[in-house]
Amino acid sequence: MRMLAAVISAPSVIEVAEFAVPSPATDEALVKMETAAICGSDVHVLFENFARPDAIGRPGYPGHEGVGEVIESRTARFPVGTKVLTVPPGWYGGCFAQYQVVHEKWLLPLPPGGNRQQLLMAQQLGTTIYGLRKFWPGTAATAATVLGAGSAGLFFLQQLRHRGFEKIIVSDLEPARLDIARRLGATVTVLGAADAVVEATMAATDGTGADLVIEAAGYDVTRIQAVECARKHGKIGYFGYPERYGLSPFPFERAYRKAVTIDFIIDTALEPGLRSFAEAITAVDGGDIDVTYWLNEVVPLTEIATALQLARQRGSVKVRVDLTGSPSGPA
């Protein structure tokens, strides 16, 4: 059998080509993919030279948010016919392909009859559930600021609202994303020019600052703003991806004076039992987390380069990739 798959053929170049469909080994399953979603880290991998050298030329890389159906199995946990969410770590990602082999430790069954286009978002949601558990393990506080209203930022917003935070300030560069943030419960939204989010946070908290600041945009400037938005002895959760390898500017003196606690999030896919991803599936399937606002942007696999450019431009909350087309050979 043959399949279509995206492939990074050179730095900052992604193409679609035909490949042989892979075969699963022990404890693996072959998944016929239906849909994938583009993560912000995929944009960094392609356009900012974060690609792993050993993954250049590997089919499906770097996609790691996908749903599909097991069609060949060498694991008792996932028999043929099981609908699954695939959650491999980014460096093992292969979701931008019509078929991929996935180890059982990075698969989760989907609820029978569940909306798989919506359940696709459980991968991204799971990373934010994992993040917030670390960023804020306690009870609700008065104020939180979220920098970035992409898919991750909007998931953090909904969870903060469920946690009972009284004031949630959200900033972004795109007015349409802020419209969604207001609908989802943001009490203050800020079009993120200069330090407007710092001013808005201080105004909303009578000059004290936010108890928790979550940086979900992935820019040096927003990581700096996060320190300025935090109250003394507050907490900062850095979720966004680095802009570059090596050193980045950071306001250490300001962070020191405020005595903030800082956490970073990585490796959700290595969490025992994939706990956060499982919770995300339940939350999406039960309607506790709204994902319906992102379902309109879908691009066929053959236009993966366009899809990644759309994601890079930040206008869309999330871009889906339709993997259901046919290669020229048998499928």
CA distance 37 to 124: 9
Q: Which residues of 29-58 are buried (b: 16+ CB within 10 A; e: fewer)?
A: bbbbbbbbbbbbbbbbbbbbebbeeebeeb
Mode of pairing for the β-strands spanning 210-215 and 188-191: unpaired
Q: Which domains does the chain have, with CATH numbers?
A: 2-121+291-322 (3.90.180.10), 126-268 (3.40.50.720)
Average pLDDT over residues 30-41: 95
What integer pLDDT is reported at residue 151 of this predicted model? 92
For the cut 60, the answer to whether the pLDDT of residue 330 exceeds it is no
Give pLDDT tens digits for 123-179. 999 999 999 999 999 877 899 999 999 999 999 999 999 999 999 999 999 999 999
Burial 78-96 (b: 16+ CB within 10 A, else e): beeebbbbbbbebebbbbb
In order, the DSSP letters of 160-196 are HHHHT-SEEEEEES-HHHHHHHHHTT-SEEEE-STTH
Mean pLDDT to the nearest integer, 226-234: 98
Are residues 222 and 232 in contact, defined by beta-carbon separation less than 8 angstroms?
Answer: no
Tell me what the mean pLDDT of segment 97-119 comes to: 96
How confident is the model at residue 331, as a pLDDT? Answer: 38
Statement: residue 120 has pLDDT above 60: yes
Which of the pair, 117 or 297, is modelled with greater confidence?
Answer: 117
Dist. CA 158–CA 16, nearest whole Å: 36
Residues facing 70 on adjacent strands: 31
Summarize pLDDT for 287-310 with one digit per residue, the tens. 999 999 877 789 999 999 999 998
Cα distances (Å, whole numbers) of residue 60 to 6, 30, 285, 304: 5, 13, 27, 11
pLDDT band at 71 (very low <50, low <70, confident <90, very high): very high
Question: Per the confidence metrics, is the pTM higher than 0.85?
Answer: yes
Q: Output the pLDDT for position 314.
A: 66
Query: From CA 34, how far away is CA 320, in angstroms rounded?
Result: 10
